Amino acid sequence: MMVHENIVRLLDLYTPDNSLSTLSIVYIVTEYAGNSLYEILKRERETGLRILTPEHHKFIIYQLLRALKYIHSANVMHRDLKPGNLALTDECDLSVLDFGLARSLNADDTVLSAYVITRWYRSPEVMYWKICSYDTQADVWSVGCILAELSLGHPLFPGEDSMAQYRLIAELCGSPDPELLVKLASNEAILNVITKLGVYSRKSFSEYFPKTFSKHLVDFLDRILVLDPEKRMTVTDALSHPYLEEYSMPEDEPVADGPFILDEGSNGRTIAEWKALIWQELLNFDRRKKNSC
């Protein structure tokens, strides 16, 4: 179980069913984590009033990165970071929610799904490059999209479909550079798309974003919204960036004790096998709960 201040905490796991053969309902109880960031941003847009200040934005992103440092150290990708999967208390304490699409990064992984993250927050390598071995840097791109939305008051890349999404990204972040094109050489489909849409130059972020944005905020976005995941700022880099300097505290940014295996052998299991695993986990959880009393 992942235990971290910025990850929603599991309180209870139980079923009203009395045996494996009758198992059909499972209740998962988590702590109340506050309001969805999506709902807060929606309320801001509807009322025209800012609820969250730039200082709130900074604290939110710091806590999100702090959670990702822990999650990634456990060899896990969240894969669905978006405002709807983040919650805030009235004190602006953040919790990452919904690990339904999370995935372990195992050495023998050969294919990772490209359609897991809500499009507006999905990284180019997941959505377009279809690089089968994409890693935790995909989560980092999502952080950049969330920060931009917090700061602007609206989504940065609200594409109506995949092609519109690509155009919006390319118009700001530019087309793939020669180094990235070499990595994409085997993907004829995306090369055709790149050719069809033409070459875009990366815009100056200091000119694109409002002058009210601090220089550190603009530089942070410039370093995190990078097409090539190998050139994109890492979680560690982001946590030590000047934008988050007032919150940075490496000694209070814990990592996991070891890797989590979330899905070993999951692709080939039958429904009966899944039920047996769930039943066993229910028994284990109940045993741990009783031992902790």
CATH number for position 161: 1.10.510.10
Residues in the chain: 293
Instruction: Write phi, then psi, for 260 (nearest 5 degrees).
Output: -100, 135
Q: Do 167 and 278 belong together in one domain?
A: no
User: Which segment of 96-110, 137-151, 158-172, 274-288 scores lowest on mean pLDDT?
Assistant: 96-110
Mean pLDDT for 29-44 is 94
> Which phi-psi region, left, alpha or beta, contains residue 75 (left: φ > 0; alpha: ψ -120 to 50)?
left
Residue 36 domain flag? no
Residue 37 domain flag? no
Q: Do 198 and 148 belong together in one domain?
A: yes
Q: Do 147 and 193 belong together in one domain?
A: yes
Residue 185, pLDDT score: 75
Q: Do 114 and 66 belong together in one domain?
A: yes
Q: Do 145 and 74 belong together in one domain?
A: yes
What does the pLDDT look like over 98-115, one tens digit per residue? 765 556 555 444 344 444
- Those residues whose C-beta lies under 8 Å from the C-beta of residue 135, and which sit 6 or more positions away, are 77, 105, 229
Q: How confident is the model at residue 49 (pLDDT cuts 50, 70, 90)?
A: very high
Residue 45 domain flag? no
Q: Do 204 and 155 belong together in one domain?
A: yes
Three-class SS state of 202: coil
Q: Do 84 and 186 belong together in one domain?
A: yes
The domain containing residue 18 runs over which residues? Answer: 1-31+265-293
Residue 17, pLDDT score: 94
Cα–Cα distance measured from residue 293 to residue 71, given in angstroms and rounded to the nearest whole number? 28
Residue 157 near residue 169 (C-beta atoms within 8 A): yes
Residue 105 domain flag? yes
Most confident of 45-59, 65-79, 180-194: 45-59
Q: Do 120 and 17 belong together in one domain?
A: no
Q: Check if 135 is active-site.
A: no
Q: Do 140 and 110 belong together in one domain?
A: yes
Q: Do 86 and 152 belong together in one domain?
A: yes
The CATH number of the domain holding residue 272 is 3.30.200.20
Catalytic: which of 12, 17, 80, 90? 80
Q: Do 287 and 252 belong together in one domain?
A: no
Residue 39 domain flag? no
Distance of CA 264 to the CA centre of its chain: 21
Q: How many domains does the chain have?
A: 2
Q: Do 132 and 149 belong together in one domain?
A: yes
Residue 97 domain flag? yes
Residue 42 domain flag? no
Residue 145 domain flag? yes
Which of 92, 124, 114, 245 lies closest to 194, judged by CA? 124
Q: Running DSSP on this structure, what letter comes out for residue 87?
A: E
- Those residues whose C-beta lies under 8 Å from the C-beta of residue 129, and which sit 6 or more positions away, are 180, 183, 184, 187, 190
